[in-house]
Amino acid sequence: MLLCDIGNTSLHFYDDEKGEYKESVVAFDPSTFLEKVYYISVNAKLSKELKNLDNWIDLAPLIQRNKYYETMGIDRIFAVEATSHGVIVDAGSAVTVDVVRDGVYEGGFISPGKHAMQKCYSDISPALEYPFNFELNQKNLAKNSQDAISYGYLKLLASEICSYDLPIILTGGDAEEFAQLFFDARVNKRVLFEGMQKIIEQVLEI
Amino acid sequence: MLLCDIGNTSLHFYDDEKGEYKESVVAFDPSTFLEKVYYISVNAKLSKELKNLDNWIDLAPLIQRNKYYETMGIDRIFAVEATSHGVIVDAGSAVTVDVVRDGVYEGGFISPGKHAMQKCYSDISPALEYPFNFELNQKNLAKNSQDAISYGYLKLLASEICSYDLPIILTGGDAEEFAQLFFDARVNKRVLFEGMQKIIEQVLEI
């Protein structure tokens, strides 16, 4: 079975046999695919094109949207669908945090991603232009500028995530780096594809 | 007694009789002052000029610098000097948070200010371009985009500040707005001048 997560710049595929791979949106021609492809998309232009191809199956309409809020990203929803009890932290250009407890979605929040936050501090003052210290001692308040911004970003985020007392699942491009903030967290880069598989099994009964 | 906090764009004065007022750095001529002016400055160019004027007295050298870290802003240090037991939150272009417990400086951290953080979110995606909701219900995770970013910024900051279980003192241009986040917080826009007065009394014995 071929799954695809379509973004604005790249397509992220998952194949039972070949595993994961990415393709650029620029070079992509959907008509070259003859097999069925189950997809989710945040790319409006490509979505329109795919509607005319019978073997490209959009999974978004299979979701019970009333469990989520209207403007919630479809990628975030599928990562949540994969989880019955835990906090899903997707660390990319933004850090999205979503809480599922005993099968019920409780809500979430959004922090800026690592790169956006670093730019934010350095735009305020060149004196705050440091890389974040992911090995920060979270027990002590900061006594130097690098730790002061690292604490302001990472420690506050980690405290909030730990406060739910739930298993922590990290996904997204910066998952490994953020995993250093937690005593016990699982990195799972395929959580979104697991959500897609679950919906395909439950709703399409495949 | 005339006190002055010198920034890069403006000078903030405090006079026992006239109260507070501001002057632009551009229009400023220190030689027109005949009385003694006690000042702190982050403006390197003006500091150099003031060194030649006997009636302008820099308070920075009177501080025991080893209580603080090397790159800590002099304005932050004087706000801390005013406080023997509390959290000082200075909400301006950055939000600096400093903790003093029983007269001992424990350290602090730095979050981006309101405007910088709003720009940070909207630079990530136009879908995150919202003003922050300072009246956010901090007890529930967010279920809409505006609350999702407000929670990610304001709730995380408020939780950390409340966790010290100390009196909260808010200062800086956005103090009143941030005060809405706390059940019990005191806005004191003069805390830096109080620190200056305290040092003048203790060290200069005036």
Q: For residue B22, tell me if it sits in a domain.
A: yes
Cα A132 to Cα A117, A150, A185, B113, B142, distances in angstroms: 9, 5, 19, 18, 26
**What is the pLDDT, as a whole number, of residue A102?**
97
Dihedral through CA A113, CA A114, CA A119, CA A120, nearest 10? 60
Residue A198's contacts (CB-CB under 8 Å, 6 or more residues apart) are A81, A82
CB contact under 8 A, B152 and A97: yes
Q: Which of A85-94, A139-148, B70-79 is predicted least confidently?
A: B70-79
pLDDT greater than 90 at residue B77: yes
Query: What is the nearest CA distance from A170 to chain B, expressed in angstroms?
Result: 17
Which pLDDT band holds residue B70 (cuts at 50, 70, 90)? confident
Residue of A nearest to B119 (CA): A120
Are residues A84 and A136 both part of a single domain?
A: yes
pLDDT above 70: percentage of residues in chain A = 100
* pLDDT higher than 90, residue B204: no
CA–CA gap between residue B65 and residue B206 (Å, rounded): 21
**Rounded CA gap, A132 and A149, in Å?**
7
Domain that holds residue A142: 70-195
Query: Is B206 a member of any domain?
Result: no
Q: From CA A163, how far away is CA A62, in angstroms rounded?
A: 32
Residue B181 lies in a domain: yes
B186-198 pLDDT tens trace? 999 999 999 999 9
Flag if A156 and B156 touch (Cβ within 8 Å).
yes
Q: Is there a single domain that holds both residue A80 and residue A172?
A: yes
Residues of chain B found within 8 Å of residue A142, distances taken between Cβ atoms: 107-110
Collect all residues with Cβ–Cβ distance below 8 Å to B104 and sequence separation of at least 6: none
* Residue pLDDT, tens place only, B149-165: 999 999 999 999 999 99
* The pLDDT value given to residue B8: 81
A64 falls within a domain: no
Q: Which phi and psi (to 5°) does residue A115 adopt?
A: -70, -45
| Tens digits of residue pLDDT in A15-68 | 988 888 999 999 899 999 999 999 999 888 999 999 999 999 999 999 998 889
DSSP B108: E
Strand pairing partners for B86? B100
A7-11, A76-80, A108-112, A199-203: segment of lowest average pLDDT? A7-11
CB A136 within 8 A of CB A182: no
What is the percent of chain B with per-residue pLDDT over 70, rounded to a whole number? 100
CATH of the domain at B52: 3.30.420.40
Angle at A149 between CA A97 and CA B128, to 5 degrees: 40
C-beta atoms of B69 and A159 within 8 A: no
Residues in B touching A143 (Cβ below 8 Å): 69, 107
Of the given ranges (A88-102, B12-26, B119-133), which has the lowest mean pLDDT? B12-26
Same-domain check for residues A79 and A172:
yes
In the block, which residue shows the tokens 């160019």?
B45
Co-location of A86 and A130 in the same domain: yes
Q: What is the residue-averaged pLDDT of chain B?
A: 94
Please answer whether residues B16 and B1 qualify as being in contact, where contact means their C-beta atoms are separated by less than 8 angstroms.
Answer: yes
Do residues B188 and B88 share a domain? yes
Answer yes or no: do A182 and A96 share one domain.
yes
Rounded mean pLDDT of B125-140? 95
Residue B71 lies in a domain: no
pLDDT digits (tens, 9 = 90+) for B2-58: 999 998 888 999 998 888 899 999 989 999 999 999 999 988 899 999 999 999 999
Task: Tell me, rounded to whole angstroms, the distance of Cα B73 from its chain centroid.
Answer: 10
User: Do A141 and A104 lie in a common domain?
Assistant: yes
Last residue in a domain, options A15, A30, A58: A58
**A39 plus A97 within the same structural domain:** no
The answer to whether residues A92 and A12 touch, using CB atoms and an 8 Å cutoff, is no
Residue found under tokens 């995606």: B125
- Dihedral (Cα; B40, B43, B46, B47), 10-degree rounding: 50
From the number of C-beta atoms within 10 Å of its C-beta (0-12, 13-18, 19+), residue A198 rates as middle
B176 is a domain residue: yes
Residue that has been written with the tokens 């990290």 in this structure? A170
Number of structural domains (chain A) is: 2
Q: Label residue A194 by pLDDT band (50, 70, 90).
A: very high
| Residue B168 near residue A135, CB atoms below 8 Å | no
**Which is nearest to B203 in space by CA: B42, B38, B24?**
B38
pLDDT at A191: 95
- Predicted local confidence at residue A9, as pLDDT: 83
How far is A53 from A1, CA to CA, in rounded Å? 17
Q: Are residues A38 and A121 in the same domain?
A: no
User: Over chain A, what is the mean pLDDT?
Assistant: 94
Q: Are A5 and A24 spatial neighbours (Cβ–Cβ below 8 Å)? A: no
DSSP B93: S
pLDDT at B79 over 90: yes
10 Å CB burial of residue B139 (0-12, 13-18, 19+) is exposed
Q: Do B107 and B159 belong together in one domain?
A: yes
- Compute the distance between CA of residue A39 and CA of residue B206 in angstroms, rounded to an integer: 75
Residue A160, CA distances (Å) to A100, B37, B157 in order: 15, 46, 10
H or E stretch at A194: helix A191-199
Residue with the larger pLDDT of the pair A94 and B206: A94
Tokens (6 digits) for B10: 């403006």
The CA distance from A144 to A129, in Å, is: 13
In the block, tokens 């950390």 appear at B160
pLDDT score at A16: 86
The DSSP 8-state label assigned to residue B87 in this structure reads E
Q: Give the B-side interface with A, CB within 8 Å.
A: 69-72, 93-95, 97, 99, 106-113, 116-117, 119-121, 123-125, 127-128, 140-145, 147-149, 151-153, 155-157, 159-160, 163
- Does residue A35 lie within any of the structural domains? yes
pLDDT at residue B9 in the model: 83
The size of chain B, in residues, is 206
Q: Does residue B153 share a domain with residue B54? A: no
Whether residue B169 lies inside any domain: the answer is yes
pLDDT-based confidence at A4, cuts 50/70/90?
Answer: very high
Same domain, residue pair A91 and A177 = yes
Which distant-in-sequence residues (6+ apart) come within 8 Å of B187 by Cβ?
Answer: B170, B171, B175, B176, B179
Would you place residue B205 in the very low, low, confident or very high pLDDT band (cuts 50, 70, 90)?
Answer: confident
| d(CA A13, nearest CA chain B) in Å | 24
Residues of A in CB contact (< 8 Å) with B are: 69-72, 93-95, 97, 99, 106-113, 116-117, 119-121, 123-125, 127-128, 140-145, 147-149, 151-153, 155-157, 159-160, 163
Tell me what pLDDT residue A205 has.
Answer: 82
